[in-house]
């Protein structure tokens, strides 16, 4: 029998060193210094980002995809900065390599993630949660822990899948094998990267709303988005069936059944567009 608290320590130690994961792009450190410096203009920050063509291309592609839903094409870093805000832009830069991995390793998880991002944006706008772009970005990252499991814990990942196929509940399977689940792993890394606490809490509570303390609306938004995207059958995760829904989301978000219907109906055209986005990426990679 595996000692899960020992395993947990070992996993966290490995996460601290980020073994097997692409390290943060060097531009991130420079960017952090520039952002902190009050004398630096947004223009100068945009200049720095644009010098890195690979990152610029990736960020603009994400900025233009349907989950943010801007009517006009975002064609420069300055525009992206204005439309998405500095926080989101920074997160997209930091995590651009992670998105590449999700896409290559597990298209189903990538589709699920962008679906949740789109849905979270719709719900955030409807329920007037501050900075819907940030919430969409948290949606994009909510299963970050799964990516880490696949890349940095390959063997364990196979064991988890085996346990689930024997009928174990997915979160329990992860805890049995790794000592912690993907929501915890994702939040752990986001904290290491100094991402906003609001987003970390939402990611950590996306399967267990009761873990949320300060940012209940944000957490409820991700939880409901995750369930709705599963219910619609867009993408694939460890859950073959629709995961459990905490009924308190409706009260926290102040949503009634007709409003849930509106959300489901406005999500559909977004998912339709996102499928083309994924296909385009697939073609480029093959």
Partner 1 sequence: MQRLPLTYIRPGMKTFEEVVDPSGRVLCGKGVVITEDMLKRFQELGVSYVTVEGTPVVLPWEKTLEEELKELEARFEGIEEENLLQIKELIKELLFEKFKFSRPE
245 lines the binding site for partner 1 (CB under 8 A)? yes
230 lines the binding site for partner 1 (CB under 8 A)? yes
Among 8, 30, 191, 275, binds partner 1 (CB under 8 A): 275
Q: How far apart are the first and last CA of the chain?
A: 42
With CB under 8 A as the contact rule, which of the stretches 18-26, 113-121, 156-164, 271-279 interacts with partner 1?
A: 271-279
Among 5, 53, 71, 286, binds partner 1 (CB under 8 A): 71
Among 129, 227, 252, 274, binds partner 1 (CB under 8 A): 227
CA distance 122 to 68: 9
Distances (CA, A) of 204 to 65, 93, 190, 201, 234: 25, 21, 10, 5, 22
Among 2, 40, 162, 231, binds partner 1 (CB under 8 A): 231
Question: Could you tell me the smallest distance in angstroms from the CB atom of residue 146 to partner 1?
Answer: 19
Measure the CA dihedral 111/114/118/124, to 10°: 130
Residue 124: exposure state from Cβ atoms within 10 A (0-12, 13-18, ≥19): buried
Among 20, 104, 265, 285, binds partner 1 (CB under 8 A): 265
Q: How many residues does the chain have?
A: 286
241 lines the binding site for partner 1 (CB under 8 A)? yes
268 lines the binding site for partner 1 (CB under 8 A)? yes
What DSSP designation does 209 have?
G
With CB under 8 A as the contact rule, which of the stretches 40-48, 78-86, 140-148, 233-241 interacts with partner 1?
A: 233-241
Question: Could you tell me the smallest distance in angstroms from the CB atom of residue 20 to partner 1?
Answer: 31
> Measured in whole angstroms, how far is the alpha carbon of residue 188 from the centre of its chain?
13
**Maximal CA-CA distance, the chain:** 58
With CB under 8 A as the contact rule, which of the stretches 9-17, 46-54, 86-94, 265-273 interacts with partner 1?
A: 265-273
How many other C-beta atoms are found inside a 10 Å radius of the C-beta of residue 195?
22
Residues 87/35, Cβ–Cβ less than 8 Å: no
CB closer to partner 1, 210 vs 268: 268
Residues 230/242, Cβ–Cβ less than 8 Å: yes
For partner 1 (CB under 8 A), the number of binding residues is 28
CB closer to partner 1, 70 vs 193: 70
Q: Helices (H) and strands (E) in the chain — how many of each? A: 16, 0
Residues 111/278, Cβ–Cβ less than 8 Å: yes
264 lines the binding site for partner 1 (CB under 8 A)? yes
Question: Could you tell me the smallest distance in angstroms from the CB atom of residue 186 to partner 1?
Answer: 24
228 lines the binding site for partner 1 (CB under 8 A)? yes
What DSSP designation does 106 have?
-
Q: Which residues bind partner 1 (CB under 8 A)?
A: 71-73, 227-228, 230-233, 240-242, 244-245, 247, 250, 257, 260-261, 264-265, 268-269, 272-273, 275-276, 279
């Amino acid at each position: 029998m595996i000692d899960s608290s020992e395993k947990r320590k070992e996993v966290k130690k490995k996460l601290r060193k980020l073994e097997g994961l692409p390290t943060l792009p060097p531009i991130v450190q420079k960017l952090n210094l520039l952002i902190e410096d009050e004398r630096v203009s947004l223009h100068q920050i945009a200049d720095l980002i644009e010098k890195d063509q690979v990152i610029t291309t990736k960020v603009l592609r994400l900025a233009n995809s349907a989950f943010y839903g801007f009517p006009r094409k975002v064609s420069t870093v300055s525009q992206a900065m204005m439309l998405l805000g500095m926080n989101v832009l920074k997160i997209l830069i930091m995590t651009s390599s992670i998105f590449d991995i999700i896409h290559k390793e597990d298209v189903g998880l990538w589709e699920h993630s962008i679906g949740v991002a789109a849905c979270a944006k719709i719900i955030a706008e409807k329920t007037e949660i501050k900075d819907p772009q940030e919430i969409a970005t948290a949606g994009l990252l909510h299963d970050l822990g799964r990516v880490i499991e696949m890349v940095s814990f390959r063997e364990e990942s196979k064991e988890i899948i085996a346990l689930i196929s024997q009928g174990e509940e997915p979160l329990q399977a992860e805890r049995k094998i790794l000592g912690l689940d993907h929501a915890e792993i994702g939040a752990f890394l986001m904290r290491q990267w100094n991402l906003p606490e609001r987003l970390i809490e939402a990611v950590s509570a996306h399967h267990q709303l009761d873990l949320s303390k300060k940012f209940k609306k944000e957490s409820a938004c991700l939880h409901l988005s995750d369930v709705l995207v599963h219910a619609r059958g867009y993408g694939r995760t460890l859950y073959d069936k629709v995961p459990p829904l905490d009924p308190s989301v409706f009260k926290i978000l102040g949503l009634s059944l007709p409003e849930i219907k509106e959300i489901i109906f406005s999500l559909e055209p977004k998912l339709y567009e996102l499928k083309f986005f994924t296909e385009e990426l697939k073609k480029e990679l093959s």
